[in-house]
Amino acid sequence: MRRGILGLFVLLAASVADAGVVSSFNDIQYWVGNGQNRAALVIDWAGDSSTDQSWVWGFRWDGAATGEDMLQAIVAADPALYERVGPRHAVYGLPLYGLGYDLNHNGVFGISDETAFSPTTGIATTGVHDGAVATDSGDLYKEGWDTGFWNYGISVGGNPFGAGHWGPSDVGMSVTTLADGDWNGFAYETDWAFNSYPANPYAAVVPEPSTLILAVVAGLIAVTFRRRRKKQ
């Protein structure tokens, strides 16, 4: 009995901690928007390394949409995602300076230059601060324009983690039109080779409050059983 409860606790804790590897759209857990078309967004906070994890969200839409539409919709929808952008350029559109992720999902996120992100969208439109870092050591944040940058990649020939591969967008997210089945990637790059693309993708999730509560209850029951056994 006790082992069974402990097993349940371990299973619930694991379901929160490990979101799962993404190899196709079927593995994506966090979908934003509605419509017949589907695309994936992959963000890699260490684009020059293939050993860290990158994180994947899905986007659904009807009609026309751009890479910018997907990124902005997902950042606005997921309370754990943050973004800093600059003034819109007449030709290239919206410049992306910084991306952040409340990776430990504790509801605490900030960056070293004390930028105030919008509480409703998680987006900041002021300033640029190369090298700003997350103030919560369990989170991710990379920002740059001169010392590093977010390299934007698009899928060529289908799923870049399957039969296809990543390629440069050349025109930027605001001008890149999305098609059903596309993958877009942002990888933070520091060597200016313009060849960093997301690797080692995992599904972004929202920890379900009910799952967390169940995990805590299962843990309390297990502790109670242990105490009872000691008394006997």
Q: Which positions touch Ca ion (CB under 5 A)?
A: 44, 46, 49, 52, 102, 104, 106, 108, 136, 139, 199
Distance (Å, whole) CA 43 – CA 41: 7
| Identity of the residue, 28 or 199, whose beta carbon is nearer to Ca ion in the bound complex | 199
Task: Considering the complex, state which of residue 21 and residue 220 has its C-beta at the smaller distance from Ca ion.
Answer: 21
**Cβ proximity to Ca ion, 44 vs 68, nearer residue:** 44
Q: Which is nearer to Ca ion, 9 or 82 (CB)?
A: 82
CB of 157 to Ca ion, least distance (A): 21
Residue pair 123/75 in contact (Cβ under 8 Å)? The answer is yes
Smallest separation (angstroms) from Ca ion to the CB of 18: 18
The nearer residue to Ca ion, 27 or 136, going by C-beta atoms, is: 136
Q: Provide, rounded to whole angstroms, the least separation between the CB of residue 189 and Ca ion.
A: 10
* Gap between the Cα atoms of 19 and 211, Å rounded: 13
Beta strands in the chain (DSSP E): 31-32, 37-44, 54-61, 81-85, 96-101, 123-124, 140-143, 149-156, 165-168, 183-189, 201-203
Strand order in the sheet with 81-85: 123-124, 81-85, 96-101, 140-143
Residue linked to tokens 């659904």: 60
Residue 126 in tokens: 């002021």
Cβ at position 177, least distance to Ca ion in Å:
26
| Chain residue at closest Cβ approach to Ca ion | 136
The CB-of-128 to Ca ion minimum distance in angstroms stands at 22
